[in-house]
Amino acid sequence: MSYGKPESGAVQASGLGQLLIMLREDLMGELQAINQYQAHIDNIEEAEIKELLEHIRDDEKEHVAELTHLISRVDSIQREKFLNDHTAAPADRVNSGEDESQVLTVGNLFGKK
Ligand SMILES: [Fe+2]
């Protein structure tokens, strides 16, 4: 799937718009890579290979974070959206100043920190 090339008659995105399109496609690729590595990890018995794939999967997670930060630097609306945790009630938001252990996160939803 590619969003980078406009169809005939479509308005071409600006240079910055094209950059954001490419970064979002890169982000999708990194997220898909995490899922693929995880699926393979879940189906491999050999500890050494499993451990190496876990390391590679975690590298992909770092790439997701890097791309997310980069997109945030380029896209001011996205940056604003990242600043607020819209997944929690206002009183439970991370930036509310409350005890962090009481904040609802994806991790603690599944019993992980
Ligand atoms: Fe990557």
| Tens of pLDDT, residues 42-94 | 999 999 999 999 999 999 999 999 999 999 999 999 999 999 888 887 777 66
| 9 lies in some domain | no
- Where in the sequence is the domain holding 60, given as residue range(s)? 15-109
Domain total for the chain? 1
| 4 lies in some domain | no
The token pair at 56 is: 């590679």
- Model's pTM, two decimal places? 0.70
How confident is the model at residue 8, as a pLDDT? 52
Q: What is the dihedral of CA 102, 103, 108, 113, to 10 degrees?
A: -80
Q: What spacing in Å lies between the alpha carbon of 60 and ligand 1's midpoint? A: 4
Of the candidates 78, 73, 74, 66, which has an alpha carbon nearest to the alpha carbon of residue 31? 66
| 31 lies in some domain | yes
The answer to whether 44 and 50 have CB atoms below 8 angstroms apart is: yes
pLDDT, tens only, 11-48? 577 899 999 999 999 999 999 999 999 999 999 999 99
| 44 lies in some domain | yes
| 87 lies in some domain | yes
Q: What spacing in Å lies between the alpha carbon of 14 and ligand 1's midpoint? A: 26
Q: What spacing in Å lies between the alpha carbon of 30 and ligand 1's midpoint? A: 5
The token pair at 48 is: 């050494």
| 36 lies in some domain | yes
